[in-house]
Amino acid sequence: MVAQQFEPAGSYAGVIDEDVTSERRNAWIKFQDRIFVPLTIVPTIVASLLVFGIPLAFSLLLSFQGWTIDSGLFAGRFVGFANYQDLFTDPLFRSSLALTIGYTIATVTSELLLGLGIALLLNSRVPFVRIFRTALIIPMMITPIVAALTWKLLLDPSYGLVNAILGTRTVWLGDPDLALIAVGVVNIWQNTPFVAILLLAGLQSLPAEPVEAAAVDGANSWQTFRHVTLPLLMPYVVVAVLLRTIFEFRSFENIWVMTGGGPANATKLLSVYTFEASFLSFDLTLAAASSWVMLFIVLIFCVFFILATKRKEIQ
Amino acid sequence: MSGFARGRRRKFIRYVLTYAGLISLFLVFVFPLLWIVGISLKTREQIFTNPPVFFWMPTFENYAQVLTQSDFLASFSNSLVVTTASVTLSLLIGIPASYTFARFRFPGQGVAMITLLIMRMLPPVAILLPLFVLFKAVGLSNTRLSVIIAYTTFSLPLIVWVMKDYFANLPKELEEAAYIDGASRMLAFRKIVLPLARPGIVTAAILSLLLAWNDFIFAAILTNNATRTSPVLLASYAGGETGTNWGAITASGVLVVIPVIIFSLIVQKHLVQGLSSGTVK
């Protein structure tokens, strides 16, 4: 986070000589200037409160209540932690929490390792490397639903390209042992480029002297990378890992399109669990509790993220 | 002499390995998409041939079919309307706010910036249910306006964070000169700051455009068959089995993704900064 605080500009800070300007400025302009800050800020605050603040407060309330969609907005009664108790005694929720943790760790680790390798590759000075750098942006930006559809067709048991290349007839998305890996691969495919490009930006911003000094001291390239480049790159790695953790944790589109949470709940991550509780089984209080478990976990990672970016400003 | 030759050989091997790596990158990350484009240009018989056909005479029959299909056209135009409206609104709201965040100090500023950052991180699925209930309560369910409101708000953190750095880096002498000449803040902002900030605004606009165009989960819940956007229609093709109409599915997917690719390439330099909420330059 770049906390670049500027001194207030203009008469706001008394920079301008009031005697010179006050004659020229009429009351209307003065009034406009006085309301400029609130006028520019208030719409953002109002929109955030309406679309984030109120819904979040409402679902927090809901998570402690007995409530159905037919009752009035605030007609529920307080039930304490009963919804959370229901949630944590639901074997499906517990398995989806465990699946989500495993899935997030596996995808983020793969994205980091592959991304680091790709960043180093893209950092080499060979002709035409820019073309590959640009091409890598495409999977990372395309509509997630289209990425999921793409892989659903590629992994088709009978006519998919993957089986044609491997010469197998594997039912990738119908096998509980393979399905989670398959949906994970789609997200790794889509998001490794982001990690790679972020780390590449990091590599290119590193000072050259430490690497040169290591070479003078006779370090080989692995030693240089391990003891010089990697420590310098660490702030970027931390940002990449935290951002990817926050975003993999919410994975939804790839699963919804490719498996719908199946087979046999093998890909039912927290997001799918919450979605189904909200909009398929309409167990709203349970969904609110599950939403807040997700929000709570993400908030913890947000705190890490804010601390990490505040401590070491990345430029 | 031999040392020189050895050096050249090593350099040659390094080149070969680097290009082998780069080409495998291309095969893994881009070829799958080219294959899908390929399917969209095949006839049904060619699609369901085993082993797959690698060379064929491209046909545009799938595109002709999709572009005369009323549900594809309806969802595409819904996507256009929703995206245009939410980008416009979020720029109108977000850019002045981000200028104020960059240039002024006011109470609660730090908290507001951090709150905006956290808003960007929260999983949409966890906010969807109460949002749905509230939109229903005010009679906005199944309207395009409801998704426009949602996308506008979700774009605000992105715009504020990207533009704040941009505004902070603009020289403030020009604005100060304008104040001395008697201009109001609003006038100086409109006539001096905004024209200077145009490249930043383009980046912010495209990032918020991609957010609205690519979203599935909000539109899936907040719209119905008449107001759904393209990703919702595409996802309905994949429900359960993909059936046999792969030509239409892939052609629709390609048509939806083309604008994304064009706009992403325009802002490619700023993508990482935007996607990491301005934490990395």
Which of B125, B246, B281 has the CB atom closest to A252's CB atom?
B125
What is the token pair recorded at B171?
């020289």
What is the token pair recorded at A283?
């167990």
Residues 6+ apart with CB under 8 A from B160: A44, B94, B97, B98, B101, B113, B116
pLDDT single digits (tens) B58-79: 889 999 999 998 889 999 999 9
pLDDT single digits (tens) B71-102: 899 999 999 999 999 999 999 999 999 999 99
- Give yes or no for residue B212 having a pLDDT over 70: yes
Residues 196-235 of A with CB under 8 A from B: 197-198, 201-202, 205
Residues 6+ apart with CB under 8 A from A253: A144, A145, A147, A148, B216, B217, B235
| DSSP one-letter string for B68-90 | T-HHHHHHHHHHHHHHHHHHHHH
Same domain assignment for residues B193 and B240: yes
Same domain assignment for residues B126 and B200: yes
pTM of the full structure: 0.88
Higher pLDDT, A18 or A242: A242
Percent of chain A with pLDDT over 90: 47
Provide the pLDDT for residue B126: 87
- Give yes or no for residue A43 having a pLDDT over 70: yes
Task: Provide the CA A43 distance to its chain's centre, in angstroms.
Answer: 25
CA distances from A105 to A100, A110, A147, A269, B84 (A): 8, 8, 21, 13, 37
Report the pLDDT averaged over residues B18-34.
93
CA distances from A275 to A35, A249, A284, B65, B167 (A): 42, 14, 10, 33, 39
Nearest-CA distance A98 → chain B (Å): 18
User: Residue A141 and residue B260: Cβ atoms within 8 Å?
Assistant: yes
Q: What dotted CATH number matches A84-311?
A: 1.10.3720.10
Residues 6+ apart with CB under 8 A from B148: B82, B85, B86, B89
Q: How many domains does chain B have?
A: 2
Cβ of residue A153 closer than 8 Å to a chain B Cβ = yes
Least confident of A229-233, B174-178, B205-209: B174-178
Per the prediction, chain A carries an average pLDDT of 85
Residues 224-243 of B with CB under 8 A from A: 230-231, 234-235, 237-240, 242
Cβ of residue B142 closer than 8 Å to a chain A Cβ = no
Cβ-based contacts of A21 with chain B (< 8 Å): 179-180, 182
User: Residue B102 and residue A6: Cβ atoms within 8 Å?
Assistant: yes
- Give yes or no for residue B193 having a pLDDT over 60: yes
Which of A138, A143, A198 has the CB atom closest to B30's CB atom?
A138
Task: Tally the residues of chain B.
Answer: 281
Instruction: Please report which confidence band the pLDDT of residue B166 belongs to, taking 50, 70 and 90 as the band edges.
Output: confident
Higher pLDDT, A127 or A271: A271
User: Residue B129 and residue A284: Cβ atoms within 8 Å?
Assistant: yes
Same domain assignment for residues B224 and B112: yes
Q: Are A305 and A243 in contact (CB under 8 A)?
A: yes
Report the pLDDT averaged over residues B20-38.
93
Global ipTM: 0.90
Cβ-based contacts of A158 with chain B (< 8 Å): 50
Q: How many other C-beta atoms can be found within 10 angstroms of the C-beta atom of residue B271?
A: 22
Higher pLDDT, A210 or A112: A112
Q: Are B197 and B216 in contact (CB under 8 A)?
A: no
Residue B270: which CATH number? 1.10.3720.10
Nearest-CA distance B253 → chain A (Å): 6
Nearest-CA distance B228 → chain A (Å): 14
Nearest chain B residue to A165 by CA: give it.
Answer: B51
Which of A12, A149, A298 has the CB atom closest to B123's CB atom?
A298
User: Is residue B33, in this structure, part of any structural domain at all?
Assistant: yes
User: Residue B156 and residue A44: Cβ atoms within 8 Å?
Assistant: yes
Domain boundaries, chain A: 10-62, 84-311
Cβ of residue A303 closer than 8 Å to a chain B Cβ = no
Residues 100-129 of A with CB under 8 A from B: 118, 121-122, 124, 126, 129
Nearest-CA distance A271 → chain B (Å): 6
Provide the pLDDT for residue B46: 87
Cβ of residue A84 closer than 8 Å to a chain B Cβ = no
Provide the pLDDT for residue A7: 43
CA angle A179, A180, A184 (to 5 degrees): 115
User: Is residue B280, in this structure, part of any structural domain at all?
Assistant: no
Report the pLDDT averaged over residues A72-81.
72
- Give yes or no for residue B214 having a pLDDT over 90: yes
Q: Are B213 and B154 in contact (CB under 8 A)?
A: no
Cβ of residue A282 closer than 8 Å to a chain B Cβ = no
> Which of the 8 DSSP states describes residue A228?
I
Nearest-CA distance A227 → chain B (Å): 22
Task: Tally the residues of chain A.
Answer: 315
Same domain assignment for residues B264 and B163: yes
Provide the pLDDT for residue A4: 42
Same domain assignment for residues B73 and B10: no
Cβ-based contacts of B163 with chain A (< 8 Å): none
Provide the pLDDT for residue A75: 64
Provide the pLDDT for residue A262: 78
- Give yes or no for residue A78 having a pLDDT over 90: no
User: Is residue B281, in this structure, part of any structural domain at all?
Assistant: no
End position of a domain, from candidates B45, B61, B77: B61
Residue type, position B25, single letter: L
Provide the pLDDT for residue A3: 41
Range of the domain at B120: 67-275
User: Residue B125 and residue A29: Cβ atoms within 8 Å?
Assistant: no
Cβ of residue B55 closer than 8 Å to a chain A Cβ = no
User: Residue B127 and residue A252: Cβ atoms within 8 Å?
Assistant: no
